[in-house]
A and B are shown apart, each in its own frame.
Chain A
């Protein structure tokens, strides 16, 4: 079935360190992979996405990489700041005639000053 696995479930880093979150997906036909950030008590919001025709995309301190052969994609946050503390979700679209958006189980990132 359609599945997205995400690791780790929790991640604690010191301010200024890098953080990496990894995901795998089950359907090789998937070609769009968004990442959402959810702050405490708020809705998930898109922070970056990647399409299967590229291997890496950067936006300031955030980067995503995609390995379609291995069906892996990752989120990299450099120079972490306390305001980066949140739950991060990876997701993939699965094509079952229509585009089904399935999320990973989330990573709780804590950045300590």
Chain B
């Protein structure tokens, strides 16, 4: 398995534009997490899905952010409109079903720069 795959790796966009980040979890994993990483706040959990259903989106900063998981092999995080303060590295992680002690695997991340 290639692991968790995120695209694009880097994204530079202008303020006000729509940005879509993509994630393909590891096959067979049924939990998917989106995190935002900044120097000041570390790894913030934005939203997580279980069996494609959004469970907790309390970490989504505002209505400009939305996430979907239309099937078990694909998820998107969308920012519309984007703002400079959204600049960060966005990670997706997935986890297999099973007990509470299964490892979460991270993708390579998407470095977003909003100018």
Taking CB atoms, residues of chain A closer than 8 Å to B56 are 96, 98, 100
Q: Would you give the shortest CB distance from B82 to chain A, in whole angstroms?
A: 23
The tally of CB-CB contacts under 8 A between chains A and B is 58
Give the interface SS of chain A, mostly helix, strand, loop or mixed: strand
Give the interface SS of chain B, mostly helix, strand, loop or mixed: strand
- The interface size of chain B toward A, counting residues with CB under 8 Å, comes to 22
What 0/1 pattern do residues 98 to 114 of B give for CB contact below 8 A with A?
00110110111100000
Contact, CB under 8 Å: B109 / A43 = yes
What 0/1 pattern do residues 33 to 51 of A give for CB contact below 8 A with B?
0101000001111100101
Chain A residues with CB under 8 Å of chain B are 6, 31-32, 34, 36, 42-46, 49, 51, 89, 93, 95-106
Chain B residues with CB under 8 Å of chain A are 31, 33, 35, 41-43, 45, 48, 50, 55-56, 91, 93, 95, 100-101, 103-104, 106-109
